[in-house]
Each structure stands twice: as structure tokens, then as C-alpha cells.
Chains A and B, each alone.
Chain A
């Protein structure tokens, strides 16, 4: 679930009047919030029928499409910011999706649950079972998450591709995880661009 805190952090990273694309936009609440607070123009991409109707109710532009099929109808560099909020871990083809984000957008924002969070580590270490928490609220057999990774993993991923991280914030619940974020943070937010 997206919370007020993630909302506020993402919002703070969006320039006034930006053209924004939100991948896997759910009910469009973030886009609506950005339009109201930052006068953004934007579109969501969403494949779920009920979410699509919710977006229409929230009066945000939404395109019904499968993220995995790519953003082929979207022109190069046509967005200021492309957002992927708590969806990266549920995407099969992580690498091409991020490459597409940086093709169509000048900057990308991704947020994801940190698998390296100490509670997750402890659950595996102590009980020997896959972790279940507020940010990973699923059992192994019903989770939509196909890639679980840590903050360190993501930073290595960006380094290898020479993506430049512009901002990073790590949260533990509603609070900022400042010390040893890969251990103490449950949710990571990144703003980055091509190097």
C-alpha cells in the first residue's frame, strides 16, 4: 500500500507542471494528488479493469496496457518523470522495463519493499520461512512479487548500468531509516536518470 509518506516524498521530487507517466498507477490517487499539488499533466498505465474504472472516477488519464508489453506507443523523452511505485518487484522483465522508463522519461522514480529489512532477515534466519510484513504482505504461494531484492542489490544494478541516483529515501514505516538503511529500512524510494 502506498502511504502518505511515500506520496509526500514522491511529490517533493516532481517539478511543478511536469509531464508525468505513472506505471501501474492503480486507482490513480498519486496522479490525482500530483495534478492537484504540482499542476502536473499525466497519464497512468494500468491493466486491471477495476483500477481502470477507479482512475476514471479520479479523473486521471489512464491507458489500459500491460507494462510487460512495453511502452512502445510512447515517444522517446516525452515525459519529465516516469514513476513505478511498488510495482518493480512484481514485474517479470525488470531490466527492459527500467530501460523503457528511461527511454520515455528524463527521470525515473521507483519505490520498492526492501528485502534486506532486518525483520525480513530475522524471519528467514529464525523461522526459516519467507518473510511476511506490512510491505511484503503475501505468502510465498500467493504473492504477485516475482523479484525480491534489497537496497544494495538495486544500487549495484544502477551502478552497473551507469544510472545516476539523484535522490534516495528509505522508510521504516512512516519514519526515515537513516542509519544502515539496507538493514533498518522497509521501503526504498529512488529518483534516478541515465548517467
Chain B
């Protein structure tokens, strides 16, 4: 399946949670499958921290560029593009095509950089709603995402209750814990204290805070994998014996450095800062003194909530908070707790039970 990135340009100003307004912006998106005649088969896929609108398939001119959720989305896959019209959209503030810190402002000829506003999950949802308007889709058959994407799906069900028939909230949480925020803050500090950061104006100085971004990714990566999985994959294995040096000696050290290296080559530091802030700020229940069930009272979607047993970033107990709130609010909800060894990353991996649950759930949806 070949995908084609598309761009939608919006000129009606978008008011943001921070109080600022985006006068005009672009959203990068891809679609898979066909929208049916009554436009009732659309599924919106929301991405997590570092992903993009390239959800599935490859590009005709780059067969090696496989979408980040290709095992989930495609013809005959759990999110079956023979049945559904699937939309992947890149979040504002990202660095993969939608307007963000790396976008050049035409008037000045310079990138937004540090001047790009802080964006919230709700801002993303508002912007995606406008993309649906553009595509002529009033109601989504489903909105779906994992991790930060799952939070967007939850926010959709609260913010646009009439536009969502089903919300699939996977490996998510109703808000971040102090520990989650702590990890994000360490990652941000790694970036902001990099001498090349220049208060976010690194592009104007023609440098990149590569080391800071690398450390940020290394920290993040630790939280994506379970302790057991890391032990099994790396243990105390050494690359080439102990050298009494600070060069990477343990396999886990070189693995993390490699991941950080790879990430810092394609990801933008200002984007990383903003996305982690969006995570930290997400707390829909705060509008109702922390009562998520009151917050969800207006939702009309049916929910599928999925967690993974070894996920310690957003553990099953965080998903059960969402389930409890939905039960208390008398909403339709199904909850699957998937036995998987991989930790948070499990939501991106192949797992028969996980994919079986999603496949069966989506098969029952009428289009």
C-alpha cells in the first residue's frame, strides 16, 4: 500500500489554550482506504510523541519508509482499510509537515523556532476537527490512538461528543503522574542546558542542540521498555569487556546512545519541548475538580480502553481510572488488559490478543 502525504492550509485563525492564536497553519495528513458515500466510515488515528501522519504503507519513491502503525492499519489488518477510511494527521507543533517550530514564516523568512506557541492536546483536537470539516466528515466512526494519541482520542470524546461514535484509548492515562512529569522535565532540561540550545533560537545560530536531544530521547526510551524486557534484551552484556573508561561498555549504553543518535538526527528540539509540555498539561478532569466521570458525562462515544500489563509509563491502573470514570458515568466501555512483556512500547508491536481485540471491536462497528 502506497501512501501520499497531503497538506491542508487553513486561514481561519485557531485560538489556542495558551491564549495566543495561530493566524494560519498547515496540517500534513495521509488517508488510506475510501470514504463511503454517507461518510460514515472514517477513523482518525492520533499519533504519540515522536510519530507523524505517516501511519501505514510506504511511499512509492521510498519503499523503506514504513508507517509507524503499519502492523495495525491496512487492507485486512485490525484497522481494515478495505472497510474504513483512515486518516493520519500530523500534530501542530510537530516537525514532520504540519506547522511547527521548524516551519518558515514567510514574512520573515525565518523559522518559528522558540516563538512557536505551546500547544495542548485540546488545541490538536480542535485543529483536527477543522481537517474533518475540510474533508466533509461530520462524524467519525472512531478516533483511535496510543499513549499521547490515546489522550487525544479521550479528548475528542469530551470536546466533540457528537462527532465521535467510538473512542479507542490505548496505553494512555487520564493525566500524567508526578513521576511522568519528572521524566519529561529531565528530558527538557537536557535540551535546554545544551550550549547549542540558544534559548530555542538554535536555527538562527545555525546549530542544533543534538546532545541535549539525544539525552532526552535516551531518558524517554528507558520509560518505554519494561525492566524485564531490558534485562532479557541486554542484561549486563558487554560490547568488548570492561575497559575502565566512560566509553559505552554495556550493550544497554550503546543501544541507548544509538537510539538517541538516530532520534536527534530527525527530531526537532523545540518540538520535543512542546510535545512533552502538552503531555504534562493534559488533564481533562481538572475542569471538574479532578472528577473524570463528570468530565465524561457528556461523551456519547462507546469506548475501548486497552492497557498492557508491563507498561510502567502509563500502567494498567491508569487505564482503569479511565474505565472507572466511564463506569461511574454509565458509558459503554470495554476494557482489555493485554499480557505483554514489552512495556509501554507494546502498543506499537504485534500481539495476537491485542490485535484480535481491536479487529473484533472495529468489525462490529456499522458504517
Chain B nearest CB, measured from A191 CB (Å):
23
Give residues of chain B (313-349) contacting chain A, Cβ–Cβ below 8 Å.
Answer: 320, 323-324, 327-328, 330, 332-337, 339
Query: Given contacts A73-B320, A74-B327, A75-B328, are A57 and B360 in contact (CB under 8 A)?
Result: yes
Q: Are A64 and B328 in contact (CB under 8 A)?
A: no
Q: Is A62 an interface residue (CB 8 A)?
A: yes
Q: Of all chain B residues, which has the CB nearest A63?
A: B335
Query: Given contacts A19-B330, A43-B327, A59-B364, are A53 and B335 in contact (CB under 8 A)?
Result: no
Expressed in whole angstroms, the Cα–Cα distance for A62 and B303 within the complex equals 11
Contact with B along A50-64 (1 / 0, CB 8 A): 001101110101111
Expressed in whole angstroms, the Cα–Cα distance for A83 and B360 within the complex equals 25
Expressed in whole angstroms, the Cα–Cα distance for A172 and B333 within the complex equals 37
Chain A nearest CB, measured from B223 CB (Å):
24
Expressed in whole angstroms, the Cα–Cα distance for A55 and B304 within the complex equals 12
Q: Are A41 and B327 in contact (CB under 8 A)?
A: no
Q: Are A55 and B357 in contact (CB under 8 A)?
A: no
Query: Given contacts A53-B356, A61-B334, A64-B337, are A73 and B361 in contact (CB under 8 A)?
Result: no
Expressed in whole angstroms, the Cα–Cα distance for A43 and B303 within the complex equals 13
Q: Are A61 and B332 in contact (CB under 8 A)?
A: yes
Q: Of all chain A residues, which has the CB nearest B307?
A: A64
Q: Is A78 an interface residue (CB 8 A)?
A: yes
Q: Is B254 an interface residue (CB 8 A)?
A: no
Q: Is B4 an interface residue (CB 8 A)?
A: no
Contact with B along A7-45 (1 / 0, CB 8 A): 000000000000100000000000000000000010100
How many interface residues does chain B have, given as a range? 20 to 34
Q: Are B360 and A56 in contact (CB under 8 A)?
A: yes
Q: Which residues of B contact A41 (CB under 8 A)?
A: 330
Expressed in whole angstroms, the Cα–Cα distance for A49 and B339 within the complex equals 9
Expressed in whole angstroms, the Cα–Cα distance for A43 and B334 within the complex equals 8
Q: Which residues of B contact A52 (CB under 8 A)?
A: 336, 357
Q: Of all chain A residues, which has the CB nearest B333?
A: A61
Chain A nearest CB, measured from B8 CB (Å):
34
Number of residues from A at the complex interface, CB < 8 A: 19
Q: Are A56 and B357 in contact (CB under 8 A)?
A: yes
Contact with B along A98-142 (1 / 0, CB 8 A): 000000000000000000000000000000000000000000000
Chain B nearest CB, measured from A160 CB (Å):
31
Q: Are A63 and B333 in contact (CB under 8 A)?
A: yes
Q: Which residues of A contact B323 (CB under 8 A)?
A: 63, 73
Q: Is B353 an interface residue (CB 8 A)?
A: yes
Expressed in whole angstroms, the Cα–Cα distance for A74 and B335 within the complex equals 14
Expressed in whole angstroms, the Cα–Cα distance for A19 and B333 within the complex equals 14
Q: Which residues of A contact B332 (CB under 8 A)?
A: 61
Q: Of all chain B residues, which has the CB nearest A57?
A: B360
Max chain A Cβ within 10 angstroms of own Cβ: one of B323, B332, B333, B334? B334
Q: Of all chain A residues, which has the CB nearest B328?
A: A75
Expressed in whole angstroms, the Cα–Cα distance for A53 and B334 within the complex equals 10
Q: Of all chain A residues, which has the CB nearest B335?
A: A63
Expressed in whole angstroms, the Cα–Cα distance for A62 and B333 within the complex equals 7
Chain A nearest CB, measured from B263 CB (Å):
34
Max chain A Cβ within 10 angstroms of own Cβ: one of B324, B332, B335, B356? B335
Expressed in whole angstroms, the Cα–Cα distance for A61 and B327 within the complex equals 10
Task: Find A63's partner among B334, B357, B364 (CB 8 Å cutoff).
Answer: B334
Q: Of all chain B residues, which has the CB nearest A54?
A: B360
Q: List 16 extra interface pairs beyond A63-B327, A65-B337, A73-B324, CB under 8 A.
A: A19-B330, A43-B327, A43-B333, A52-B336, A52-B357, A53-B357, A56-B360, A56-B361, A61-B332, A62-B334, A63-B323, A63-B334, A64-B335, A65-B335, A73-B320, A78-B328
What would 7 A/B residue contacts be, using CB atoms closer than 8 Å?
A: A55-B334, A56-B334, A62-B334, A63-B334, A65-B335, A65-B337, A73-B324
